[in-house]
């Protein structure tokens, strides 16, 4: 579980605040700590992928809640293909309690922002 600990990421993110860091699996199972990391380091983008779109994963709704509120620009969708096909991944993501704005942000706008397109 040390591989998914947000502490190492935080050291790098604070040392290099202009560098954008994308964290696949969003440090799961360290969800609360990962959300705090993203709050403290706006250059860190969390990509919880399968830990949001697979049914009954513990703490998955925490990512949706954060994307709906304080972390509007830090959580990004990814499919985790081939764990699920693209349609299953998208469907599972949309089943979480995201607001319409958070869905738009996580599915498109944040990725554009990350890539410097918006």
Q: What is the pLDDT of residues 63-108, one digit of tens each?
A: 999 999 999 889 999 998 888 889 999 999 999 999 999 999 999 9
Is 39 part of any domain?
yes
Q: Quick check: is 82 in a domain? A: yes
23-36 pLDDT tens trace: 999 999 999 999 99
- The answer on pLDDT for 12 being more than 90 is yes
Query: In this structure, which long-range contacts are made by residues 2-5, counting pairs with CB atoms below 8 Å and at least 24 apart in sequence?
Result: 4/28, 4/29, 4/30, 5/30, 5/33
What total of structural domains would you count in the chain? 1
Return the C-alpha torsion angle 105, 97, 55, 7, nearest 10: 60
Q: Does the predicted TM-score (pTM) go above 0.95? A: no
- The answer to whether residue 16 is domain-embedded is no
The total number of residues shown for the chain amounts to 118
Instruction: Report the pLDDT averaged over residues 46-52.
Output: 95
Residue 4 in any domain: the answer is no
User: How does the average pLDDT of the chain come out, rounded?
Assistant: 93
Residue 75 lies in a domain: yes
Domain hosting 77: range is 24-114
Please check whether residue 29 is in contact with residue 5, taking contact to mean a CB–CB distance below 8 angstroms: no
């Amino acid at each position: 579980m040390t591989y998914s600990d947000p502490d190492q990421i935080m050291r790098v993110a604070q040392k290099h605040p202009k560098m954008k860091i994308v964290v696949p699996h969003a440090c799961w199972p360290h969800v609360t700590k990962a959300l705090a990391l993203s709050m403290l380091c706006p250059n860190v983008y969390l990509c919880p992928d399968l830990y949001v779109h697979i049914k009954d994963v513990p703490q998955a709704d925490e990512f949706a809640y954060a994307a709906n509120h304080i972390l509007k620009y830090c959580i990004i969708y990814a499919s985790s293909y081939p764990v699920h096909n693209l349609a299953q991944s998208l469907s599972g993501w949309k089943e979480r309690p995201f607001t319409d704005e958070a869905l738009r942000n996580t599915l498109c706008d944040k990725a554009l922002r990350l890539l410097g397109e918006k």
